[in-house]
Amino acid sequence: MILDINKVNLVALYTGDKGYKFCTCKCPCCSQKNVEGNYQGTIEQVNTLLDKFTGLTNLYLFGNPDPTVDTKFCNEVAHVAIKRGKKVSFSTSGVGGVKKIKELLDNIPTEAVGYISYSVDTVDPEKMSMLKGIKYPWNEAMEGIKWTINNGYKTKIQPTLWSSNYEDVYFIIEYFSKLGVDWFSFHIGSIENNNLPTHNHLTIEQMKIVHAQIDKATKRYGVHVECPTIYKECGNDNPYKWYCMNPDICYNWLAFLKKDGIYATHVPILSEFDDKYCYDITKSIEVEKMPKLDFCPASSRTAKVKTLCRYIAKTWN
């Protein structure tokens, strides 16, 4: 597959590689668990990234590894992007509440913000603490969300679903729609068996339950919900192949500012398993030429990719 990176319209950006140990949360299955750097990106790198992705309309800031960790730098990055005609969005856990959100949005006009996304996985405060790996400051986070809504910022609730919270979908939509949220995005949890009963991947039957909850809630509350097609189809198609090949997904990328370069991928799931799906955009134009996505275990290059392929074959075929 050949993609034109000039057509990429959204890049989600980690502004450094400090990873899990620096985060405000300690989610047991965080994708940043293996990231153990101590690097804070630079404005020069941000400008380079914006130079490369010429069609970018929305820079989605993930922070280092959350905007509440490097709030000042994320605010500075946002101002740079806005001056270059881009909108900015933010993804946060909600830790820090109103104080952190105000710092993040300092001197940023409402109209320049695409949306603010909150990673809230349940409406049960105790379960939220278990999923985030900390004593989650529920009331503080809810005040931050209310402040965001009341001040006119587009607000999205973005839960990650596991075996322990997939049945909470309806209640999440119900709770936050009553606060004024009308946009939800549900993500799939781990694709590996991780020996954590509370954080196992979802079965097809569980995904069908997720879809039924979404269908019921959207009909009742009239909200916009995004979720992977696999939640709806639950068929024999390979869900990760859909994730990688869908044109809309291909034009939404994930990028990382690192000491040795700026890395980007259109397939975050696979890039966690195999470096060939992640590109240093400062070194090679080959970023435009995407490799053929091969899910055959016999051709997989690493043990982790083989595990991924076996899981896909077992679960979806």
Instruction: Dump pLDDT digits (tens) for 171-217.
Output: 999 999 999 999 999 887 655 445 566 666 677 778 788 888 999 99
Nearest to residue 264, comparing CAs of 6, 4, 11, 9?
11
Q: How many CB atoms lie within 10 A of CB 202?
A: 21
Query: What is the predicted pLDDT for the residue at 6?
Result: 79
Nearest to residue 101, comparing CAs of 60, 146, 133?
146
8-state DSSP, 201: P
Give the separation between CA 191 and CA 203, rounded to whole angstroms. 11
Kindly state the average pLDDT of the residues 293-308.
40
8-state DSSP, 34: T
Between residues 300 and 263, the one the model is more confident about: 263
Kindly state the average pLDDT of the residues 294-306.
39
Query: What is the predicted pLDDT for the residue at 299?
Result: 35
SS3 288: helix
CATH class of 5-292: alpha beta
Query: What is the predicted pLDDT for the residue at 226?
Result: 85
Give the separation between CA 272 and CA 33, rounded to whole angstroms. 11
Q: How many CB atoms lie within 10 A of CB 33?
A: 14
- For the ranges 203-212, 268-277, 284-293, the one whose mean pLDDT is highest: 203-212
Query: Where residue 302 falls among pLDDT bands split at 50, 70, 90?
Result: very low
Kindly state the average pLDDT of the residues 206-230.
85
Question: Quick one: angle between helices 169-177 and 204-221, nearest 10?
Answer: 20
Query: What is the predicted pLDDT for the residue at 200?
Result: 67
135-144, 184-193, 203-212, 235-244: the lowest-pLDDT one: 235-244
Nearest to residue 137, comparing CAs of 114, 164, 113, 118?
118
Q: Are 57 and 9 in contact (CB under 8 A)?
A: yes
Kindly state the average pLDDT of the residues 89-95.
96
Tell me phi and psi for residue 240, to 5 degrees.
-80, -25
Query: What is the predicted pLDDT for the residue at 207?
Result: 79
**C-alpha R_g of the chain:** 19
Instruction: Dump pLDDT digits (tens) for 98-118.
Output: 999 999 999 999 999 999 999
Amino acid at 185: S
pTM: 0.84
- The helix, strand and coil proportions of the chain, stated in percent and rounded to the nearest 5, come to 45, 15, 40
Q: Is the pLDDT of residue 56 over 60?
A: yes
Q: Is the pLDDT of residue 73 over 60?
A: yes
Structure tokens at 75: 């605010």
SS3 132: helix
Query: What is the predicted pLDDT for the residue at 163?
Result: 86
Give the separation between CA 299 and CA 125, rounded to whole angstroms. 44
Q: Is the pLDDT of residue 287 over 50?
A: no
Query: Where residue 288 falls among pLDDT bands split at 50, 70, 90?
Result: very low
Of all residues in the chain, what percent carry a pLDDT higher than 70? 73
Structure tokens at 53: 């992705």
Query: Where residue 312 falls among pLDDT bands split at 50, 70, 90?
Result: very low
Structure tokens at 85: 């005609």
Q: How many CB atoms lie within 10 A of CB 231?
A: 24
Question: Quick one: angle between helices 71-83 and 97-104, nearest 10?
Answer: 40
Give the separation between CA 126 and CA 21, rounded to whole angstroms. 22
8-state DSSP, 228: -
Query: What is the predicted pLDDT for the residue at 306?
Result: 43
Residues 6+ apart with CB under 8 A from 275: none
Enumerate the domain spans of the chain. 5-292
Instruction: Dump pLDDT digits (tens) for 6-39.
Output: 788 899 999 999 988 889 999 887 877 777 789 9
